[in-house]
Amino acid sequence: MSATLPLRLGTVAPEGLRAQRSGLRWLVRDGQRVRPGDVLGYCQLGVLPPKGGITASPMAMERLDFGVAFSAPFAGRVRPRAGTSRGGMLDRLRAAASWDPEEVVAEIEPEAEVPPGARVLGLLFTTGLRVNPQLAMRSGLLSGWYARRRAWWGDAGGEAPPTLACLGSCDIADAIAGEEGDFREFHAGIAGPAHLVLLPEIMPVTAGVSALEAMRRTPAELQAISEGMRRAFADGPPPGAEDWLFAGSLLAALGRNPVALDAPLLTQAGITRVARPDAILFSLIGDARTVLRHRTQGWSLALHGYRLQPDLIGPATRAWLDAAFVRETRSFAQQAAEMAELVAALRAAIPGPVVVANQATTTGRDQLHAYAAFDAPLSEQVAAVRNRDWTLLLTELARSHGMLVLDVDAILAEMGMAAHMPDGTHPSGALQAALRQETARLLREAGLPGFAPRAA
């Protein structure tokens, strides 16, 4: 066995930039055994031009929540150095210290001989684009309210690593982002480098017709939506804080094109930009059968029912929704045609695979013994039948459009619906781990680099 080895921070800012950091927040105990890729701790990070000025940061608005997590380069027992965590706000604000690439912040007792070049911590960069820049929360890594959050390894070189974007509905969002929302589990399981991006639900649902319209919406159309809301709020009941919060969140969501990322990416070799994802993942749960259709502008608004409860929206928002929209329940045929159109549009916009997660076709709540009481087509009235029709449709789209299916239904059949997704929407931690592994396998077999399993 090798002797105890020091672990250095390593290079962050490329030449011409300077880096500063908070104190380190450790996630491991002294002497804890770790595996390669395990996250040991993290800090907040600032990357600035030499002459300072936060508005000139190359990370633009994502500088507000830019951080870096440290990972173990090999297996062993790690011992964080005393004094690297200073506690309080000094571990939350990035101005506590300058980044010193030669600083030793921990030691590790390796389980086997390691080459000298491996004695540097792995650096997992994370950042989030806030829904509103005034909304701050620094309780952890990527702990705020974001319109977009992402993570990537810093050793990708001067070029951007392959990018997977996920439209984050409840069944797959945390399968990609992990238990703490900082992507550590997914990155610990793949060799990389890879760039993972989550586009969470801000207000409306993320996939289906919402995504299709978002890809086509022009700045002028978004401005018209904003102006219509402004007029409605001016002419209707006086808006309160909850109305303005609804309006701002909705506009942030409607202006987000899932294939137009335009994201700065810092690596240890320099800064590059990611214009669009290489692959995209979304779920059928992210599509909605019933939408609100704007009476004059024609765009659709798909919201979960709980968002429209009386105590969650203000009177101005309620008046606007009642006056400006009509409720529309889409047929299976209409949804199927829109899904085929969405897949085709995504395939034309990105170079890599489009992956769609299906739904469970059987649940423990199915109690129907006969379908004679229902009119045809059954998919319009019985959810379990509708889900089976969706499974067949996705199989056809996979053949005709080159799409890939994340087979949640098959995984649940092996693991058990009652134990791992009892409500048909929200997965257990074990199911999330299985979905991460299956997503990486699909991308790897589709030829997307960076998603091979990490060596033990």
pLDDT tens-digit readout, 390-414: 888 899 999 999 899 999 999 999 9
Is the pLDDT score of 274 beyond 90?
yes
Kindly state whether residues 134 and 213 are assigned to the same domain. Answer: no
Residue 196 lies in a domain: no
Kindly state whether residues 407 and 262 are assigned to the same domain. Answer: yes
Residue 375, pLDDT score = 67
User: In this predicted structure, which of 81-95, 105-119, 206-220, 350-364 has the lowest mean pLDDT?
Assistant: 105-119
**Cα–Cα distance between 316 and 243 in angstroms, integer?**
6
Is the pLDDT score of 379 beyond 90?
no
Percent of the chain whose predicted confidence (pLDDT) is above 70: 92
Residue 242 lies in a domain: no
Kindly state whether residues 282 and 382 are assigned to the same domain. Answer: yes
**Is the distance from CB of 78 to CB of 119 less than 8 angstroms?**
no
**Is the distance from CB of 77 to CB of 33 less than 8 angstroms?**
yes
**Cα–Cα distance between 37 and 39 in angstroms, integer?**
6
Arithmetic mean of pLDDT, 294-314:
91
Res. 364 pLDDT band, cuts 50 70 90: low
Residue 136, pLDDT score = 83
Residue 172 lies in a domain: no
Residue 248 lies in a domain: no
CB neighbour list of residue 23: distance below 8 Å, 6 or more residues apart: 43, 84, 85, 86, 87, 90, 91, 96, 97
List, for residues 104-139, the tens digit of each pLDDT value: 999 999 988 887 666 788 899 999 999 988 888 888
**Is the distance from CB of 222 to CB of 216 less than 8 angstroms?**
no
**Cα–Cα distance between 441 and 427 in angstroms, integer?**
19
Kindly state whether residues 267 and 366 are assigned to the same domain. Answer: yes
Res. 456 pLDDT band, cuts 50 70 90: low
Which CA distances in Å does 147 have to 17, 57, 258?
27, 20, 11
Residue 128 lies in a domain: yes
Q: Residue 281 is part of a domain; what is its CATH number?
A: 3.40.50
**Cα–Cα distance between 231 and 250 in angstroms, integer?**
16
Provide the domain limits for residue 417.
Answer: 209-217+255-289+330-445
Residue 378, pLDDT score = 67
Is the pLDDT score of 423 beyond 90?
no
Kindly state whether residues 97 and 213 are assigned to the same domain. Answer: no
pTM: 0.92
User: In this predicted structure, which of 113-122, 141-150, 192-201, 396-405 has the lowest mean pLDDT?
Assistant: 113-122
Kindly state whether residues 213 and 133 are assigned to the same domain. Answer: no
Residue 287, pLDDT score = 84
**Cα–Cα distance between 438 and 431 in angstroms, integer?**
10
Residue 225 lies in a domain: no
Scanning the structure block, which residue is given the tokens 């880096």? 19
Tally of domains in the chain: 2
Arithmetic mean of pLDDT, 283-289:
86
**Cα–Cα distance between 230 and 324 in angstroms, integer?**
12
Last residue of a domain, one of 121, 144, 167: 144
Kindly state whether residues 274 and 387 are assigned to the same domain. Answer: yes
Residue 1, pLDDT score = 47
Kindly state whether residues 280 and 401 are assigned to the same domain. Answer: yes
Residue 176 lies in a domain: no
